[in-house]
Chains A and B, each alone.
Chain A
Amino acid sequence: NAGVMQNPRHLVRRRGQEARLRCSPMKGHSHVYWYRQLPEEGLKFMVYLQKENIIDESGMPKERFSAEFPKEGPSILRIQQVVRGDSAAYFCASGSGRFPEAFFGQGTRLTVV
Chain B
Amino acid sequence: GDSVTQMEGPVTLSEEAFLTINCTYTATGYPSLFWYVQYPGEGLQLLLKATKADDKGSNKGFEATYRKETTSFHLEKGSVQVSDSAVYFCALLMDSSYKLIFGSGTRLLVRP
Residue numbers of A with Cβ under 8 A of B are 1, 4, 6, 31, 33, 35, 40-45, 48, 56, 59, 91, 98-102, 104-107
Contact = CB atoms under 8 A, between A and B. Distances in A.
Nearest to B103: A42
Interface string B57-94: 00000000000000000000000000000000101010
Interface in B95-112: 98-105
B93 A106 contact: no
A43 B100 contact: yes
Interface in B13-60: 32, 34, 36, 41-46, 49
Interface of B: 4, 32, 34, 36, 41-46, 49, 89, 91, 93, 98-105
A43 B4 CA distance: 11
Contacts of B4: 42
A45 B99 contact: yes
Most chain A CB within a 10 A radius of its CB, from B36, B98, B101: B98
A41 B93 CA distance: 18
B100 A100 contact: yes
A3 to B, nearest CB: 11
Contact of B45 (A6, A41, A43, A104): A104
User: What 9 A-B pairs have minimum CB-CB distances, sorted nearest first?
Assistant: A42-B102, A106-B43, A104-B44, A45-B99, A43-B102, A104-B43, A42-B104, A98-B98, A1-B45
B98 A91 contact: no
B89 A101 contact: no
Nearest to B49: A101
A36 to B, nearest CB: 11
A91 B43 contact: yes
B42 A106 contact: yes
A99 B101 CA distance: 13
Contacts of B91: 42, 101
A1 B103 contact: no
Contacts of A6: 43
Given A99-B93, A101-B32, A48 B98 contact: yes
A4 B46 CA distance: 13
